């Protein structure tokens, strides 16, 4: 059974599972769009979900909308828009619908948990795990819809999107609160991204290759940055600036305040929290942009993104797991190590003037890391979900109901009650006739038996 398996595997530990009793979900969303618009939409959307559907199942279904669209990218836009590909307009409309449905399901699952009384720490872990995977999926759809192609800007967009989610996750670990500002990615960011998908569906991705100087209401920006900057490049550059100037300072300040309240060394905490994602992002960038790498040159960025996304999902899920179980901040060396090793191997010709792997071997290694990461993350997720479900007495994708008695059980209970009633009648007759009835009542009356036990 689970207890024995846990003792053998050692993960999650019994202490970690016991710490789940301290779980309390806390989130702050200061977005005016959420407060005055979307909350009413979500309250309306939840009415379409039956009471028997599990919250985690809603989350998973939402993720499948995104997986479907990622498949469309592989089939219709594998080059992410750099080549002259005949992409049906409905593909981009599907991007918008899929992302909006994912966002809807992602916000409805919590409401479903509250109205069915099935809120649990597993729900938060499952939700954040799906969000982490979806972070990479959104980047792929954005690159395809903006026509960025397999370029360095696409790599930068990919890394910044992951880093933003990572920092929010680390912030929640130290503060205990998921904080979303007045303008945040899960709200305004989703809306703007869906709008960009719709624009691509109407006008085609070539509209994003238009220089800003040719756009009347944006031409003044072109003279500030560069007249040759396109709309797609402007979107990526703006995302990077918002990440550096707004998101990073807010997260670092929140962690600083949490360290003061908990009497923690801020510098040590900052190194523990930021070092993994910094090394992960730098190694990823150095691997991809290397002149000796096949990722961009031979058009394997899609495969690279899926592989990296799984490693990132493991990183984010590990932090949330540590948050829920009151564990120390995870080291994350397992998902980071493959990126470091590959970045060194691929750049070997520039470092030691000697190639360690051939282009074909790099391609095989890419598949090996993808397979290994998938199996490891899958095994990790199974152990955690299985441990949480066993300890909390719940199911992951099904709402656990109390077992209803069968007809045979009801019949047996009815017969037993009839026998007891007849015994009581006989006892009363015996008492009326002057015979003692203590022995009969002690067997038939639960109240009498309980009093005997108390004595």
Which residues are part of the catalytic machinery? Answer: 128
Distances (CA, A) of 362 to 31, 158, 297, 298: 44, 21, 13, 11
Residue 230 structure tokens = 């396109």
Residues 313 and 133: their CA atoms lie apart, in Å, by 5
3-state DSSP helix/strand/coil % of the chain, to nearest 5: 75, 0, 20
- Residue 66: CB partners within 8 Å, gap ≥ 6? 98, 99, 102, 134, 137, 138, 141
Residues 254 and 179: their CA atoms lie apart, in Å, by 9
Residue 412 structure tokens = 């047996």
* CB-CB contact of 157 with 241 (8 Å): no
Residue 378 structure tokens = 């899958």
Find tokens 């523990």 and name the residue.
272
Residues 373 and 334: their CA atoms lie apart, in Å, by 9
* DSSP states of 64-115: HHHHHHHHHHHHH-TTTTSS-----HHHHHHHHHHHHHHHHHHHHHHHHHHH
Q: Largest alpha-carbon pair distance within the chain?
A: 112
């Amino acid at each position: 059974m689970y207890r024995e398996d846990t003792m053998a595997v050692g993960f999650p530990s019994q202490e970690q599972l016991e710490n789940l009793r301290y779980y309390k979900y806390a989130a702050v969303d200061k977005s005016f769009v959420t407060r005055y618009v979307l909350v009413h939409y979500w309250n309306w959307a939840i009415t379409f979900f039956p009471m028997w559907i599990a919250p985690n199942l809603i989350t998973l279904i939402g993720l499948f909308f995104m997986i479907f669209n990622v498949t469309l990218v592989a089939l219709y836009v594998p080059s992410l828009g750099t080549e002259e590909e005949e992409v049906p307009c409905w593909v981009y409309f599907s991007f918008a619908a899929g992302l909006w449905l994912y966002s809807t399901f992602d916000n409805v699952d919590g409401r479903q948990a509250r109205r069915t009384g099935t809120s649990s720490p597993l729900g938060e872990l499952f939700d954040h795990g799906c969000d982490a995977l979806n972070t990479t999926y959104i980047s792929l759809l954005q690159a395809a819809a903006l026509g960025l192609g397999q370029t360095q800007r696409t790599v930068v967009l990919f890394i910044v999107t992951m880093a933003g989610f990572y920092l929010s996750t680390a912030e929640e670990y130290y503060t205990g609160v998921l904080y979303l500002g007045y303008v945040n990615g899960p709200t305004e960011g989703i809306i703007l991204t869906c709008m960009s998908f719709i624009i691509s569906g109407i006008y085609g991705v070539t509209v994003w290759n238009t220089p800003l100087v040719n756009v009347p209401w944006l031409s003044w920006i072109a003279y500030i940055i560069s007249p040759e900057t396109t709309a797609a490049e402007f979107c990526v550059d703006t995302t990077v600036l918002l990440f550096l100037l707004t998101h990073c300072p807010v997260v670092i300040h929140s962690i600083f305040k949490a360290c003061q309240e908990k009497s923690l060394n801020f510098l040590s905490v900052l190194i523990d929290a930021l070092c993994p994602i910094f090394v992960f992002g730098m190694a990823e960038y150095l691997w991809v942009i290397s002149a000796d790498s096949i990722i961009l040159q031979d058009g394997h960025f899609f495969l690279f993104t899926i592989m990296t996304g799984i490693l990132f999902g493991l990183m984010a899920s590990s932090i949330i797991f540590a948050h829920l179980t009151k564990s120390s901040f995870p080291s994350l060396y397992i998902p980071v190590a493959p990126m470091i090793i590959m970045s060194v191997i691929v750049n070997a010709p520039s470092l030691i003037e000697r190639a360690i792997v051939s282009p074909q071997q790099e391609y095989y290694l890419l598949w090996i890391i993808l397979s290994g990461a998938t199996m490891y993350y899958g095994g990790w997720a199974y152990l955690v979900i299985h441990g949480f479900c066993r300890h909390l007495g719940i199911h992951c994708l099904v709402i656990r109901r109390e077992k209803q008695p069968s007809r045979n059980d009801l019949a047996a209970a009815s017969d037993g009650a009839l026998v007891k009633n007849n015994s009581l009648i006989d006892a009363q007759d015996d008492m009326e006739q002057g015979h003692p009835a203590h022995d009969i009542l002690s067997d038939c009356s639960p109240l009498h038996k309980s009093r005997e036990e108390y004595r």
